[in-house]
Amino acid sequence: MMLAIPDLLGKGGVGRIRAIIDAADWVDGNATSGHQSALAKSNRQLPENSAAAREARRLVLDALGRSPLFIAAALPLKIFPPLFNRYESGEAFGTHIDNAVRIHQGSEFRVRSDLSATLFLEDPDAYEGGELVVEDNLGVHSAKLPAGHLLLYPASSLHRVEPVMRGTRVASFFWIQSMVRDDGARTLLFDLDQSIQAIAADRGHGDREVVRLTGLYHNLLRRWADT
Ligand code: NI
């Protein structure tokens, strides 16, 4: 499933993160790449354990925790500490696949990447190019979302960032290990959840059929979830 989560951060939230990271020192983005990725990648990145990255990451994680749509869609078990990158002057990230297991530098923390996430931190009008292009079995999808919006997509997909020909593309990116590993099962749960929310808005959460459907949701989650 590919899903856009609008306004994960408002203008104020984006501004706070940009103020922190724009003032920091950036390094060659190949610091985090797997071997195949390193061949395709040209951008810059905030050092994983810099003070700025830690401070900005906290704001991203707080916003994720406040988003019911993110939680319903990703069913997160573990979130890799968000990283930050920027592309300018023709920089790009050619077609690649993300590593299946990510290990956080200098710690034992590891995440199986079920979902990849990109949080856009620059207005689309402020740069040319820089689309995130994701290939799945339904075709090729191109995304360039407003600042503050998040794109979730299967980490199993081939994807790339098109060259940025004018301006600067700034984003946060990270991976999620979901309680529900299988993308198809997770999508079914998300669709069921969204229908329950819609029916409950109409009939109230105490409605007998809403309660039964909520039970069905939790019993499927019980069957499929790792915790
Ligand atoms: Ni990637």
Specify the pLDDT at position 136: 87
Say yes or no to pLDDT of 34 above 80: no
SS3 203: helix
Q: For residue 65, how far is its CA from the centre of ligand 1 (angstroms)?
A: 23
Specify the pLDDT at position 40: 84
Say yes or no to pLDDT of 120 above 80: yes
Task: Identify the band that residue 123 occupies on the pLDDT scale cut at 50, 70 and 90.
Answer: very high
Q: For residue 74, how far is its CA from the centre of ligand 1 (angstroms)?
A: 17
**CATH 2.60.120.620 occupies which residues in the chain?**
3-178
pLDDT tens-digit map of 189-219: 999 999 999 999 999 999 999 999 999 999 9
Residues 6+ apart with CB under 8 A from 102: 80, 110, 111, 113, 175
Specify the pLDDT at position 4: 98
Tokens 């990116």, residue located: 173
Q: For residue 96, how far is its CA from the centre of ligand 1 (angstroms)?
A: 6
Q: For residue 104, how far is its CA from the centre of ligand 1 (angstroms)?
A: 16
Mention the CATH class of domain 3-178. mainly beta
Q: What percent of the chain has pLDDT over 90?
A: 89
In CATH, the architecture of 183-224 is: Irregular (4.10)
Q: Mean pLDDT, to the nearest integer, of 126-130?
A: 98
From CA 98, how far away is CA 16, in angstroms rounded?
28
Q: For residue 160, how far is its CA from the centre of ligand 1 (angstroms)?
A: 7
Q: For residue 98, how far is its CA from the centre of ligand 1 (angstroms)?
A: 5
Q: For residue 37, how far is its CA from the centre of ligand 1 (angstroms)?
A: 8
Side-chain-side CA neighbours of 218 within 13 Å: the count stands at: 5
Asked which of 34-38, 113-117, 155-159 is least confident by mean pLDDT, the reply is: 34-38
**CATH 4.10.860 occupies which residues in the chain?**
183-224
Q: For residue 30, how far is its CA from the centre of ligand 1 (angstroms)?
A: 12
Tokens 């104020």, residue located: 12
Q: For residue 97, how far is its CA from the centre of ligand 1 (angstroms)?
A: 6
Task: Identify the band that residue 113 occupies on the pLDDT scale cut at 50, 70 and 90.
Answer: very high
Specify the pLDDT at position 106: 84
From CA 43, how far away is CA 90, in angstroms rounded?
9
From CA 3, how far away is CA 91, in angstroms rounded?
25
Specify the pLDDT at position 36: 65
Q: What is the DSSP letter of 179?
A: S
